[in-house]
Amino acid sequence: MQDRLKELRKTIADAKLDWYVVPSQDEHMSEYTADSDKRRDWISGFDGSAGTALVPSTDIKEDALLFVDSRYWILAEKMVPKKGWKVVRVGASGGSGDAAVTGGWTEYVANTLPDGSKVGIDPKLISADLARTVESRLAPGGTRLMPHKENLVDAVHTPTPRPLDPLSHYPFSLSGEKTDAKLKRIRSQLDNYVHSEKWIYLLPTITTIPWLLNYRGSDVEYTPVAFAYCVLTPSECVLFVDKRKVQDDEELLEDFKNAGVTLKGYGIDEVQKFVEGSVKAMGGKKVQIFASRNTSWALAKACEPALVNTIACPVDEAKVLKNPVELQNFRNAYLRDGRAMVRWMAWMENRLVKEGKDIGEWAAAMVLARYRRQEDMYAGLAYADISATGPNAASGHYAPTRGNEAQIDINTPYVIDSGPQYLDATIDTTRTFFMGKDASDDLKRQYTRVLQGHFAVSNATFPLGADAAGLSAFSRKFLWEDGLDYGHGLGHGVANYGTVHEGPTGFVHGFSFKPGHVTTIEPGFYLEGQYGMRIESTYICREVETKYEFGTKWLGFECVTRVPIDNRLIDWSILTKEEIKTLNEHNKMVEEALVPLLDDDLDKDAREWVKKMCKPHFIWPWTGKQ
């Protein structure tokens, strides 16, 4: 690892640069990347989904820097070499993901580097919006963000070749909307936005294009996508993809034909040639070019001298508003996955508690995958299993590997954050279990505060148009009362057999929930060096009835997760009767849904475990439903 860093630093100096930025993204700004694009992993040893390296040349006598958000603070310190590197923690107080990391490294470049510094970056790996923002911030001090067409990490190592696995057609029975109908809908939105018939729209996002064109791929681990670009005009839809990927699926080719989708080779150069030809065919200067905010600096520059205007992606906005078929897919998939999870949980508790045997974190996750493979439509994992006991659970995104795992300790919280891909929906579920007997009062109180925050959001009623960021405070209120907090976001969108983190849905400023949006709710608490806890379920936003109507629609959430919430860590003295009622109702819903499905002769333990876990807590005095 030291030799890699040394060679890269020398290459940076040879390129007449002072610093070089190594992001985690690929040229499509993807959160999860293929092996061919894991440049930051290769140079730093850190394999988290978000994090940016800032590497100095040999002329700069400083360590390389790795900026990571709170989910990875602890893990990064363990993974990154002690010599030659420094981990920079960013994104406290609710900031997590790429936005927090981006804010960290750009602030450092703008405020800490000497004036006049030359900071290089591969223009394919930074969005055009961010590049323009950084350039503007650096201008007064003379520091420059310099696009360097040759990727300097690739110059010192040979990337893994990208896969050539074929695309597969995603049928109407699962998508609920045909490709030609989706294209018609998106074109109508763009026509209304532009007020002209002379426009071009660039769509580089590989997690969005498959939804629009009803296909799935397998180029990236955990995410059913393929490397591609898409360009829309009022009359054309072009998919830029390696044509070897679409030779054999007759259904897909027929669907493309019916929807007017044509194929061209993959790459920014191919997109550039098409855009130049389209601009000329439409009459030149009056043509407006728009693009998703995930458009890279390189793609935007390739369209010059035309100006590329970035906008909120209308395809993303359409994708996250699920149609009735997609919503039912979620209900179906989470029901099947609930059965797999309780079978596994019953097995875990029998082995750990009744039999007194050891189970490692990685081994436990592998057994869960075995149960899931028995379910219809199983298509692999949606992300690396977070199976964590004790101190490991204090790192929000710790993922064990074979040979690098702890034995599960029943006397400390055990966190399982795991989700598979099913052909009808993507799963994301987290539960915290305690199988011992002597939980401390502090531990119980912290877990109960997390549970109260979860219920405060899941039970919330709010008006259409309300800023979603306001709901995040609901989840933190109870932790804040005890001087506690968590450092990640409250939740995120989830796809129908796609990415587990689907934007723009989320509890963020500028987003407002509508009926049909799907989100997770996942507050937590993490005590570094000791333990962590998180409770995550997935919800559909829907209209709700209120006593009065006050000029707007009112919204709430429907839970689709069918997994019990463990009540063995609850401090009942601080729960209200309404909160106890919510817990009872959730677990009763789970029991009524799952017990009839646990009908195999081998399911006796699972049935008994579900009934035990879902037994209601008695409320006194209480006149309502328990």
Domains of the chain: 1-147 (3.40.350.10), 168-312 (3.40.350.10), 324-614 (3.90.230.10)
Q: What's the mean pLDDT in 197-223? A: 97
What sections of 250-323 are H helices per DSSP?
250-259, 268-282, 297-302, 314-319
Q: What's the mean pLDDT in 423-448? A: 97
Q: Which of 74, 67, 75, 76 is nearest to 101 (CA)?
A: 67
Using alpha carbons, list the distances in angstroms from residue 180 to 157, 177, 187, 316, 613: 43, 9, 11, 17, 47
Confidence at residue 284, expressed as pLDDT on a 0 to 100 scale: 79
What's the token pair of residue 525?
Answer: 């608490």
617 burial via Cβ count (<10 Å: 0-12, 13-18, 19+): middle
- Asked whether residue 360 carries a pLDDT value surpassing 60, the answer given is yes
Q: Which of 55, 49, 74 is nearest to 4 (CA)?
A: 55
Q: Three-state DSSP class for 543?
A: strand
- Asked whether residue 98 carries a pLDDT value surpassing 80, the answer given is no
Let me know: does 536 contact 334? Beta carbons within 8 Å.
no
Strands 144-147 and 85-89: unpaired
pLDDT in tens, 37-60: 999 999 999 998 889 999 999 999
In the chain, the percentage of residues whose pLDDT exceeds 90 is 89
Helix (H) or strand (E) holding 198: none
- Asked whether residue 318 carries a pLDDT value surpassing 50, the answer given is yes
- Asked whether residue 625 carries a pLDDT value surpassing 50, the answer given is no
Let me know: does 199 contact 288? Beta carbons within 8 Å.
yes
How many angstroms separate the CA atoms of 231 and 305, rounded? Answer: 18
What's the token pair of residue 76?
Answer: 């990064």
How many angstroms separate the CA atoms of 395 and 267, rounded? Answer: 38
Confidence at residue 364, expressed as pLDDT on a 0 to 100 scale: 98
- DSSP one-letter string for 276-292: HHHHHHHTSTT-EEEEE
Q: Which of 7, 85, 6 is nearest to 46 (CA)?
A: 85
Q: What's the mean pLDDT in 497-502? A: 97
Confidence at residue 83, expressed as pLDDT on a 0 to 100 scale: 94
**Position 286 confidence tier, pLDDT thresholds 50, 70, 90:** confident
- Considering only 303-312, 326-335, 442-451, which range has the smallest mean pLDDT? 303-312
Helix (H) or strand (E) holding 18: none
Confidence at residue 626, expressed as pLDDT on a 0 to 100 scale: 44
Confidence at residue 383, expressed as pLDDT on a 0 to 100 scale: 96
Terminal Cα-to-Cα distance of the chain (whole angstroms):
58
